[in-house]
Structure 1
């Protein structure tokens, strides 16, 4: 990569509230920035990047047969909720609907809730989610909903007999050499699927590299390439400023000033405040970013694209 372009990128992120940024291309670290040594060594709260890692865990659970089908109705895992289903359509919401956030619940997380959710104060988050009114039929529209993510960690716990963090340590984190990680829980001991993970920037980079290597890590299969392909297809376009939504991953097209690559796809995890795990397959590139930009979570994405356009 052009050193002049990287120097300009370094100056721009130092002016902003970006805490760390790592760029790997063709298995080589080509850019490294940490605001200070503490950020380099300590796990950072990655907010909704948690959702994308959860997507990988759901794929591993499907691969291993813990989850039989993502077409299975969610209510099958929570029969105790049957008596509160005031709308019969709720019985048909599937795991896939949760993954694409197209379950149909009225959920103004990107509206009047201002990126927060009252569910965090609930003593029973799963019940809180299913008591929400439906404003759409399942599969009709994507609406950002961290409640869907939390229900997924509950399903993972029910089907595997392990908390999500235990399942992740066994089948994802430890095989990748990730040991310095924490996953916060709700009051019932269910890991917070929407935003609960903390990890280092290097470990975030490993998550993206696993995707780039089609689910393999040091000659060991971690998750099927079929799942990774399916889980990163652009399914719904609700927020044009961000991109399409897949199975808890975002997808958008980049315009790059390169004769060989005029337009290419970027797959990315996005956390509130500007946390990112980005994969650009055609460039063999992975980027990890942590930030404190709660007033503008998309600013790191804009700065990154300004850099990439001049490749």
Structure 2
């Protein structure tokens, strides 16, 4: 794609403001796949996108899914940045049933779930504090325990809770074990604060 326009409008074959039929499936088995042009996308640009991905050298993509107006446009799984189904002798790799490490995608999923919880009345507002939900397991010996009690849902979502980001460096020997065993208790008991909750922001894994 070198030399080609990367303007997002190039991906649309018609005006993005045009009325499109919408179909949102109720479960994963009902997704309907259609040609890109049926939903106003440019199939040539999508092909060029995959050509560009194949030439990437600084990181690898394992899958690409494009959904528009509830319709599946593209679903491809990749191996070494090459489309899996185009490989002559592909190794067993990621597919549509493979469990994949999500990393910070969890942040977006958590925000969506919090929004649903608010809409359904399970939460009152984003100012509710961490302590309200974990009072039954809270112990006096938790590091920075009194300050952590004041951490709000909003602070966790916006990454200004104060929970320190690099807990791997602090607990190189047992961090992974503790997180796997009980990630909530690990965050409450062991993860220190880098600053007062709400005072500043810092990208961190601890808020997930």
Secondary structure at 1:89's aligned position in 2? helix
What does residue 147 of structure 1 align with?
Answer: 206
Secondary structure at 1:23's aligned position in 2? strand
Q: Does 1:8 align with 2:48?
A: yes
Alignment check: 8 A CA contact 1:101 1:142 kept? yes
**Of Structure 1 and Structure 2, which has the larger fraction of its residues in helix?**
1
Secondary structure at 1:77's aligned position in 2? helix
1:145-176 CA-to-partner distances (Å, cap 9, x unmatched) read: 33322xxxxxxxxxxxxxxxxxxxxxxxxxxx
- Cα distance 1:62–1:26, how it changes in 2: closer, same or farther (>3 A)? closer
Highest Rg: 1 or 2? 2
What does residue 128 of structure 2 align with?
Answer: 72
**Of Structure 1 and Structure 2, which has the larger fraction of its residues in strand?**
1
After TM superposition, where is structure 1 displaced by more than 6 Å over at least 4 residues in a row?
none
Q: Does 1:83 align with 2:118?
A: no
Cα distance in 2 between the residues matched to 1:26 and 1:89: 44
Q: Does 1:36 align with 2:84?
A: yes
TM-score (norm 1): 0.39
Secondary structure at 1:18's aligned position in 2? coil
How big is the shift at 1:9? Answer: 1.7
TM-score (norm 2): 0.56
How big is the shift at 1:30? Answer: 4.9
Root-mean-square deviation (Å): 3.2
How big is the shift at 1:78? Answer: 1.9
Secondary structure at 1:21's aligned position in 2? strand
- Cα distance 1:53–1:117, how it changes in 2: closer, same or farther (>3 A)? farther
1:36-57 CA-to-partner distances (Å, cap 9, x unmatched) read: 2574442341413233222212
Q: Does 1:54 align with 2:110?
A: yes
Alignment check: 8 A CA contact 1:104 1:134 kept? yes
1:67-87 CA-to-partner distances (Å, cap 9, x unmatched) read: 222211111222232412453
Where do residues 263-278 of structure 1 align in structure 2 (5 Å cutoff)? none
State the aligned residue count.
146
Q: Which runs of 5+ in 2 are unaligned?
A: 1-10, 12-41, 78-82, 86-92
Query: Which of 141, 159, 164 is 1:101 aligned to?
Result: 159
What does residue 65 of structure 2 align with?
Answer: 22
- Cα distance 1:117–1:72, how it changes in 2: closer, same or farther (>3 A)? farther
How big is the shift at 1:96? Answer: 1.5
Q: Which runs of 5+ in 1 are unaligned?
A: 150-311
